[in-house]
Amino acid sequence: MRVTYYTFPEEVSPADCIDAYLKAKGWAPDMNDREDMVHYRNLKQKIEEYGEIECSVSFAKRLLRAIGGNAYTQHFDRSGCLFETTPILLTGNNSRHHYSRHL
């Protein structure tokens, strides 16, 4: 299993991080819709508290191109133990391992 995280640049304000996220996602939250309000509030809280979000590799690459920052993938074996953390690069395959090798 793998989990990808994107870390926003420290010098960028949380409001600008949220704007970059919304632009990369192509999503304009409707503040009259309860689900959109909850999703927006949770996103804002994650960015302000942790400075990172869990996302897909392709979305992390979009954010890297847009505002910089860092992205990485954590690889776990079947027992749930972390066996590798790889940085996300803008080009190429970001994993050096085949998962069948660890099964």
Query: Would you state the pLDDT for residue 94?
Result: 62
C-alpha distances (whole Å) from 95 to each of 4, 41, 53, 72, 88 are 11, 33, 20, 10, 9
The whole-angstrom separation of Cα 53 and Cα 51 is 7
pTM of the model: 0.82
The DSSP 8-state label assigned to residue 83 in this structure reads E
Contact partners, residue 51, CB within 8 Å, separation at least 6:
7, 8, 10
Residue by residue, pLDDT tens for the chain (103 residues) are: 889 999 999 998 988 999 999 999 988 888 899 999 999 999 999 999 999 999 999 999 999 999 999 999 999 888 989 988 889 988 776 656 555 555 4
